[in-house]
Each structure stands twice: as structure tokens, then as C-alpha cells.
Amino acid sequence: MFRTRFSRQQEELLPWYTNGTLTAAEREAVERWLRQSPEAPAKLAGWQRLRTAVTSQAQQTPSPSVWQQVMARVQARRATGQQTRVSLRPAWAWGAALAAAVLILLWSTIQPGIVLQWSVSDGPLTAFRVYRAPLGSASFDLLHEVPAHPDVQRYTYVDAQLWPAQTYVYRVEGVRQGGQPALSQTITASALDALPGQLAVLFTSLIVGYGAVILVQRWQSGSQGSWGLSRLMV
């Protein structure tokens, strides 16, 4: 078993032995195998005849027209690849711009955030001031002032400027004529409550932008395909 495996290894080295490109150790192993194996000289002679037949053939140089055709094909392939890479950039630019526009539009329309609602049943009020402070802080910031109307009893305000995982304390303060505070209500809410709506708006804008990229790429590929067809039909 070992001798058979050894013979196969040396036989596989015969092409390089014929070309004289083996190392000294490999050449010595092949020559030892040639002396010990009865069928080895015949196999070596076959490789030597093959090498003689190959080296005896005259070398032919392609004509200049063939070389020009090859270079023209290479340049055409290279130009096509560059045009494809350049054409992809406007598609992604259009997709990113459309995604940003959809994000702004949906964010301003839907206003995904914490929704505050309150109702008023007594007293003439001119406005409602909405304050906010992080949970555990006594420093309230004025977010917005909602005008009051005599015929409206229920009011709504949406806070869309939130930090993720932050809990806020909101205070809604009624204002009378002359700026005097009339009533005050407080509520605690977490920004995580608004996260599903915000993610929905974000993913929707990304999907619209990605869809625009796919459509532009298909349109470009269709344009290039029809152009190539017209060239072939001429």
C-alpha cells in the first residue's frame, strides 16, 4: 500500500521532472522511482514525447486586427462597468432624498410622540402652557402654548421631541386674562410609549426610498436594454 502511494506521488511529478523544474529532493525521489519501477521509464518517455511535440510547434503571433478586436472588447466591458457604477449613484441619491422627504412629511403629519389630552369645564381661559421636565427633576421647560377657545372643551398636544427610554413629567397650566395661572395638571409618561409609532414612520420612509431605488434601477436597465436592442436591429 505504501509503495503504491509512493509510486503515484512520483508519477505525478513527471511533468515537472521533464521540464527540469523540480527541487533537488523531488528530482532525487523521481530518479529513484525510475530505477526501481519497471513501468516508470515508459511513462517518462511518454511525457518526453509530449514535451517535444509541444516545443517543436512554431509560435504564432496574432495579427494586429485580432489584437485590436480584443482590446476593443476589453474597453467596451470596462466602459459598461463604469457606466453601471455611475448610474447607481443617482438612484441611491434619489432614494435617500425621497426617504427624507417622506420622513419629514409623515413626522409632521402623524406626529408620533406622547399625546397629552385635557378638558376644561369652567372659567374663561386664554391659553394653556405645556411644561416638561425629566422624571426626578424640578426644572420644567415650556414646550408650547396652546390658545384657548370659548367653544372648545377638549384640547390635545403631541410632544414628538423625545429622548429614547426617557420618562417625563408634563404639567399643563391654564392661563387667565393678564397671564395669571388658573389651574395646573400633571402627568407622567415614558418615551417608550411613542417608540412604535416613531419606528413605523421611520421604516415606512425607508421602504419608500428603497422602492424608489429599485424602480430607478429597473428603469435604467430597461433603457439600456432597449438601446442595445435598437443597435442590434439596425
End-to-end CA distance of the chain: 68
Report pLDDT for 4.
44
Find the Cα–Cα–Cα–Cα dihedral 203, 206, 210, 216, rounded to 10°.
Answer: 140
Phi and psi angles of residue 154, each rounded to the nearest 5 degrees, phi first: -115, 130
Task: Return the residue matching grid coordinates 511535440.
Answer: 53
Q: Going by C-beta distance under 8 Å and a sequence separation of 6 or more, which residues neighbour residue 14? A: 30, 43, 44, 47
Say if residue 28's pLDDT is above 80.
Answer: yes
Report pLDDT for 79.
66
Our measurement of the distance from residue 177's CA atom to the centroid of its chain's CA atoms, rounded to an integer in Å, reads: 57
| Sheet with 127-134: strands ordered across | 141-147, 127-134, 167-175, 181-190
Kindly report the average pLDDT of the chain as a whole number. Answer: 79
The top-level CATH class assigned to 114-193 is mainly beta
Phi-psi domain of 8 (left: phi exceeds 0; alpha: psi -120 through 50; beta: other): alpha
Burial 146-158 (b: 16+ CB within 10 A, else e): bebeeeeeebebe
Say if residue 226's pLDDT is above 50.
Answer: no
Q: Which three cell numbers stand for residue 125?
A: 381661559
Report the percent of the chain where pLDDT is more than 70.
83
Q: Which pTM does this prediction carry?
A: 0.47
d(CA 130, CA 126) in angstroms, rounded, equals 14
Phi-psi domain of 179 (left: phi exceeds 0; alpha: psi -120 through 50; beta: other): left
Residue with the larger pLDDT of the pair 165 and 231: 165
Report pLDDT for 170.
94
Say if residue 35's pLDDT is above 50.
Answer: yes
Say if residue 101's pLDDT is above 80.
Answer: yes
Report pLDDT for 83.
54
Q: Which three cell numbers stand for residue 121?
A: 369645564
Q: What band does 3 get if pLDDT is binned at 50, 70 and 90?
A: very low
Q: Which three cell numbers stand for residue 12?
A: 505525478
pLDDT tens, residue by residue, 134-162: 999 989 999 999 998 888 888 999 998 88
Where in the chain are the domains?
Answer: 2-55, 64-108+197-233, 114-193
Say if residue 217's pLDDT is above 90.
Answer: no
If you write DSSP's letter for every residue of 105-134 in order, what string do you get? HHHHHH--SEEEEEE--SS--SEEEEEEEE
Q: Which three cell numbers stand for residue 24?
A: 533537488
Q: How many residues does the chain have?
A: 234
